[in-house]
Amino acid sequence: MDSKAYNATLTELRAVRDALKPVQRQMEKLAAERDRLVRQAAGYDKATADRLAPAAGLSIADVVGLAPDLAPDAAAAPEVPVDVPEQRPVPVPDVEPEGAVAQLRPAADGQELPAAAAAPPSTPAAAPSPEGAQKVLPSIPAGEDGDRWIAATPNLTSTRPNFVQQPRQMAFLDASTGVLVHRDTTVRLELGSGSVGEILTAVYATIPASVERIYITAGDPWHRDAERYAYLRDAVAAWLNAPLPEGWKTESTRGKDRMAGHLVHERRPVGRWQRGDQHTEIRSVAEWVDPEGADPATVRDAFVLLWKELHRGWPDVVLMGSPSQTGRDLWSRTIPTKPGSKWTEGYPVMSEEIRGLLHATAGQGRTELLVPPRVPEKLPQLTELDRTFAYAKHTWASGVGVPRRVTAAVFAAMSEKEQTNALFAPSHWQVRVTVPEGWNHVGLLPAPGERAWHYPAEPGRTFTTWAGGAEINLALRNHLMPWRVEILDGLLWESGTPLREWSTRLKDAWAALRALAELHGDEQQRTAARLASRAVRSILLFGIGGFAQRPRTTTGTVPVGREDQVPAGAQIIGADGEHITWQRQAGFARDPYAHPEWAAGVWSGARAALLSMRMREDDVHVGALHLPPGSVVAFRTDAIYTTANPAWPYHGQPGDYLLKGHLPGPLTPPTTEEEFFVLQSLGRAHLADEQAGGR
């Protein structure tokens, strides 16, 4: 496609956009009517979510969101398997504890540090959230019961592996065209309808049985019958569980490999099968990177470049099935082994109670859509500013060892210097927060909503939440107006550098591949290098997420009419005419690499930097708080969408804000996710058009 054809396509795209607008309005009206009917039907005393969901074309979770009384009791009491230690519940106090207030004295340029004052009288309960009822987060029990939480899991530490991972041969398949690439061989297969059986038969008639991993680069065969099912998840489950060729069966175990069996995911499923001693898995390359239409040979080249660049930092590197697995394996090979180093015996894993608390109280990226009157009725423009490789900026220091508990009384008894040091150290705090009178900007601290985190900004609003030290410091020390923060409880870790070497090597690989993508003389290799650099980003991003170690979830299906086969404690999440799909929470595994305290620290630092960060080389402050009040339209993890167009410096370094989209106005502000994503796409296309025209 040349420039002329590209611009003509953009013109057609805009026409389609305009034609979609009335259709979207009609869809919104129909959706509102559907929701009304769901609520009406839910009033029937024998109504169930699993019956209503297929009729409405919604997931069971969405039906429960519309009619909370239909929530199944089974979800509240998941079965705990025998090989997982019993997890004591995380209690919620009947009465909020008194807190020690951290506050700022007036000072120029935010130089004054927080100081503790005597515990104030109890403040009124938080007002209901605009987004829904206020959810109460768990607390650490008072006294000895809570003190027992402050411990490491016995006989469980993160130690450096004493073995080398065995590589698995891989092939790359475009399921829409049938093009298969294995090493230097490219063939075109006849895949029929794209069932598992047809793919396995065609692929292994062409390549050796030693190939154990097939990456789908395009075509998404697991969606081939999606129109037959009410939920995409059901279509995926049906594809994974379809009849197999003779000799094949679903993989149930492979020695100590806990990855055996299928992973049902709406867009990135993993299927695992075996035939005798032969094992194979089919998975989406989108786990690693969006291939953006690249052919299988280019994707193969991207994986080759990725391995070569990582090999510079890790001579024993092996690319595993997912970036999360690869990231954790690479990190484990940076654990200190030098005699005399503090952590050569391994990093201790927190107690299950502390891991459960962090899972419940440490959110990830900030996602927020601001609507009128918090933004203008007409937007003069919309600018997207996205932080480059953001999480890599926040891995310099992390909490190590068993944390110290800092109650309100302990915090109040600290000296001013000790309080300051505690808030700047790796930490996680339960706080009662009051938005100051006169505040007219975005919210600073996450609060629990009924279904998601939100960020209160109404002056005088008081709420109780948990947040990391980076965010607490921002609330206390921002350049606009200090917030009132009362410390109720907290966890304070020793500061260490468990992620620094790992992230530094990954950043070096990322920078080298980005440079190659700019300088290589061959267009295909430039594309491969660009994809490889993004795969490095995924390794760090999902590697950090892997440390969070969420509770295990098991999914399965049973035939309709055999509901008695659904395991005890499981929740039915979908159904079609033939199968019922169930899901069961299975608690926390004894994972030696479970460190939610590290993930929570990185996420907290990234959320704080989204609001305010100093670019030292330019001596410039950037972030949402450095934009005019009322100009921020949305946050999306590492990106800000604003009506302003600040000329922030960009050097291509981790954490820098990249201008990624720009759409001139006037524009109607988005009030739904669908409207937001339309404007996001148009803004990116418009900026690309502008940049292409400027060359």
How far, in Å, CA of 489 to CA of 673, rounded? Answer: 36
- Separation of alpha carbons 461 and 465, rounded Å: 13
Q: Which letter does DSSP use for residue 87 in this model?
A: P
Where residue 13 falls (left for φ over 0; alpha for ψ -120 to 50; beta otherwise) is alpha
- For the beta carbon of residue 135, count every other beta carbon within 10 angstroms: 15
Say which DSSP state 129 is in: B
Give the separation between CA 649 and CA 657, rounded to whole angstroms. 8
Q: How many CB atoms lie within 10 A of CB 197?
A: 16
* Short-list 159, 155, 591, CA closest to 343: 159
For residue 373, cis peptide bond before it (omega within 30 degrees of 0): yes
φ and ψ of 635, to 5 deg = -120, 140
The dihedrals phi and psi of 632, each to the nearest 5 degrees, come to: -90, 120
Q: Which run of H or of E encompasses 537?
A: helix 523-548
Contacts of 567 (CB under 8 A, 6+ apart): 79, 554, 556, 582, 584
Tokens 């990234």 belong to residue: 606
Q: Which DSSP helix (H) or strand (E) runs through 366? A: strand 366-369
Q: To which residue do tokens 């080759």 refer?
A: 304
State how far the Cα of 456 lies from the Cα of 374, in Å rounded to an integer.
Answer: 12
Give the span between the Cα atoms of 537 and 527, in whole angstroms. Answer: 16
To 10 degrees, the CA torsion angle through 205, 272, 262, 551? -150
Cα(144)–Cα(129) distance, rounded to whole angstroms? 33
Q: Is 39 helix (H, G, I), strand (E, B) or coil?
A: helix
For residue 116, give the 3-state DSSP assignment: strand
Q: How far is CA 310 from CA 213, 289, 630, in A?
A: 20, 16, 44
Closest CA to 583 of 231, 138, 213, 272: 231
Q: Which residues contact 693 (CB under 8 A, 6 or more apart)?
A: none
Q: Is 181 helix (H, G, I), strand (E, B) or coil?
A: strand
Entry pTM? 0.78
8-state DSSP, 143: H
Q: What is the mean pLDDT, run by run of 10 residues, along the chain of 695 residues?
A: 70 74 70 78 72 68 63 33 32 51 43 37 36 73 92 94 90 97 96 95 96 96 90 89 91 58 88 93 95 95 97 95 95 90 91 92 94 96 97 95 95 94 96 97 94 94 96 96 97 96 97 95 94 97 89 68 74 70 67 93 96 94 97 96 96 95 95 95 94 75
**How far apart are the C-alpha atoms of 249 and 259, rounded to whole Å?**
16
Quote the CA–CA distance of 7 and 350 in Å, as a whole number: 56
Task: Please report the pLDDT score of residue 563 as a whole number.
Answer: 73
Q: Quote the crossing angle between the two packed helices 523-548 and 296-313, to the nearest 10°.
A: 60
Residue 545's pLDDT is what?
93
Give the per-residue pLDDT at 443.
Answer: 98
CA distances from 74 to 90, 559, 568, 583 (A): 18, 20, 8, 10
DSSP state of 376: -
Q: How far is CA 220 from CA 178, 273, 289, 314, 496, in A?
A: 12, 18, 15, 33, 43
Strand pairing category for 211-218 and 278-284: parallel
Look up residue 685 and give its amino acid: A
DSSP, collapsed to helix, strand or coil, labels residue 549 as coil
The reported pLDDT for the residue numbered 17 is: 72
